[in-house]
């Protein structure tokens, strides 16, 4: 019996995919649920597993474009109990084959060795993955279809670092998850978005759509590219709930198991280049969103406070925004609001 291998549904917006690396080519024997190949879509990669135990028969190759629910091959379940013999051939047969091989090589004629192409020593070509092609296209789209600008500020992280140090063990003991920096930034951004609704809005044709909910996308890097899982109703989540969700989505993104639905519908994005040592950058908008906050690394710097030079752990912040919908004044005020919230985290408790 032959069992169909089909491309699964991967979200309403996904209608086609690209065949990625093939782990089990035609002729391979597989067990049920064993990984056969990888499917690349414009948003996420997904591994396709064998629907049954048997021999693989594929009708596609790496790089082919396929449609959702398309049959790309079969699993032949007949003769599953039979195994391919792994016993090596007799010594006499190996010796005979060697003699035949040597007999075919003229002794008096030197072998011609074809030199490798000259370019191979200086460059290597690699086909772009589906995810990388989509990322490239969207970066160009942002440049061509938005009026993106960036504004910058810096924040003193002393208060948050002291609070984390004081409550870190108690927080982890009670909630089973570490207290990180990102939950503070999410809280600060949600508060600022409530004050400056244009940055939580989007443009649809000749209309501005104001979104009265706060679904925050968190950029997560992986070997396959950048993924942005969305924390739904972030304004209603506690610090512990935020940290648990962040850990959950980071693990799924890096394991390539995050779904399309988990990355759709964000209203604002936060990107943290600081984990890679970035001091300052201009994050790129994630259309159709109108704003994205860029976090950076924390460095001790000399700053002036009350006419005194002091050492403080400082972080540069960057807000990129769509100038078509967000005025410069509001973008600056937004970033100052975020800065003040982060420097005085007690205001979250007092609802100030």
209 and 326 fall within a common domain:
yes
64 and 185 fall within a common domain:
no
| 307 is an active site residue | no
Residue 347 has what pLDDT? 85
Q: What is the pTM of this model?
A: 0.72
19 and 166 fall within a common domain:
no
For residue 308, tell me if it sits in a domain: yes
Q: Which of 17-31, 70-84, 293-307, 312-326 has the weakest average pLDDT?
A: 70-84
Residue 168 has what pLDDT? 92
Catalytic one of 235, 296, 327, 337 = 327
Residue 116 has what pLDDT? 54
For residue 103, tell me if it sits in a domain: no
What pLDDT, in 10s, does the model give residues 221-270?
Answer: 777 667 889 999 999 999 999 999 999 998 888 787 888 888 888 999 99
Q: In CATH, what number is assigned to the domain containing residue 197?
A: 3.30.559.10
State the maximum Cα–Cα separation within the chain, in Å, rounded to a whole number. 93
Residue 120 has what pLDDT? 60
Chosen domain end from 76, 109, 131 = 76
Q: CA-CA distance, 170 to 176, in Å (whole number)?
A: 10
What pLDDT, in 10s, does the model give residues 172-204?
Answer: 999 999 999 999 999 999 999 999 999 999 999
Q: What is the mean pLDDT of residues 215-219?
A: 94
Instruction: Identify the band that residue 83 occupies on the pLDDT scale cut at 50, 70 and 90.
Output: very low
For residue 33, is pLDDT > 90? no
Share of the chain above pLDDT 70, in %: 86
Instruction: Identify the band that residue 312 occupies on the pLDDT scale cut at 50, 70 and 90.
Output: very high
What pLDDT, in 10s, does the model give residues 105-162?
Answer: 454 555 555 555 555 678 888 888 777 787 788 889 898 999 999 999 999 999 999 9
Residue 254 has what pLDDT? 78
Contacts of 336 (CB under 8 A, 6+ apart): 153
Q: In CATH, what number is assigned to the domain containing residue 21?
A: 2.40.50.100
What spatial distance separates the first Cα and last Cα of the chain, rounded to whole Å?
68
CA dist list (Å): 155 to 149, 214, 313: 20, 23, 9
Residue 50 has what pLDDT? 87
Contacts of 98 (CB under 8 A, 6+ apart): none
Strand 268-272 and strand 291-295: pairing? Answer: parallel
Q: Which helix (H) or strand (E) holds 308?
A: strand 308-322
Residue 105 has what pLDDT? 47
60 and 154 fall within a common domain:
no
71 and 152 fall within a common domain:
no
Residue 86 has what pLDDT? 39
Residue 78 has what pLDDT? 80
59 and 186 fall within a common domain:
no
The domain tally of the chain equals: 2
Q: Can you give the residue range of the structural domain that contains 8? A: 2-76
Residue 162 has what pLDDT? 95
CA dist list (Å): 209 to 198, 239, 289: 9, 29, 11
Residue 130 has what pLDDT? 74
Chain-wide mean pLDDT for the chain? 85
Across 32-36, 56-60, 316-320, which has the greatest mean pLDDT? 316-320
In sequence order, what are the beta bridge partners of 216? Answer: 231, 268
Long-range contact set of residues 77-82: C-beta below 8 Å, sequence gap at least 24:
77/1, 77/2, 77/3, 77/52, 77/53, 78/1, 78/54, 79/55, 80/53, 80/54
Chosen domain end from 76, 98, 125 = 76
For residue 225, tell me if it sits in a domain: yes
158 and 49 fall within a common domain:
no
Chosen domain end from 27, 58, 76 = 76
For residue 118, tell me if it sits in a domain: no
Q: CA-CA distance, 75 to 72, in Å (whole number)?
A: 11
| 102 is an active site residue | no
Catalytic one of 215, 296, 323, 337 = 323
152 and 57 fall within a common domain:
no
């Amino acid at each position: 019996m032959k069992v169909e291998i089909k491309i699964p549904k991967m979200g309403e917006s996904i209608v086609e995919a690209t065949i990625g690396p093939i782990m089990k080519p035609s002729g391979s024997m597989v067990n049920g649920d064993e990984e056969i190949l990888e499917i690349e879509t414009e948003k996420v990669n997904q591994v396709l597993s064998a629907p049954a135990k048997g021999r693989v028969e594929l009708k596609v190759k790496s790089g082919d474009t396929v449609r959702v629910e398309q049959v790309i091959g079969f699993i032949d379940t007949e003769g599953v109990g039979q195994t391919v013999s792994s016993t090596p051939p007799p010594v006499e047969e190996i010796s005979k084959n060697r003699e035949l091989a040597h007999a075919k090589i003229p002794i008096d004629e030197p072998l011609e060795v074809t030199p490798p192409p000259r370019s191979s020593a200086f460059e290597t070509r690699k086909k772009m993955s589906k995810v990388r092609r989509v990322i490239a296209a969207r970066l160009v789209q942002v440049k061509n279809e938005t009026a993106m600008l960036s504004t910058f500020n810096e924040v003193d992280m002393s208060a948050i670092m002291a609070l984390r140090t004081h409550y870190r063990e108690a927080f982890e003991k009670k909630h089973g998850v570490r207290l990180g920096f990102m939950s503070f930034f999410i809280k600060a951004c949600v508060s600022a978005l409530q004050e400056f609704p244009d940055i939580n809005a989007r443009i649809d044709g000749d209309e501005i759509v104001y979104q009265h909910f706060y679904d925050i996308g968190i950029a997560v890097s992986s070997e396959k590219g950048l993924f942005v899982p969305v924390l739904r109703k972030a304004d209603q989540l506690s610090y512990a709930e935020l940290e648990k969700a962040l850990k959950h989505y980071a693990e799924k993104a890096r394991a390539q198991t995050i779904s399309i639905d988990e990355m759709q519908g964000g209203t604002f994005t936060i990107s943290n280049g600081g984990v890679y040592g970035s001091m300052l950058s201009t994050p790129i908008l994630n259309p159709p969103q109108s704003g994205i906050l860029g976090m950076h690394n924390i460095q001790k710097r000399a700053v002036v406070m009350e006419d005194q030079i002091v050492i403080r752990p400082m972080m540069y912040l960057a807000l990129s925004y769509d100038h078509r919908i967000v005025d410069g004044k509001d973008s600056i005020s937004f970033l100052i609001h975020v800065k003040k919230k982060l420097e005085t985290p007690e205001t979250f408790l007092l609802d100030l």
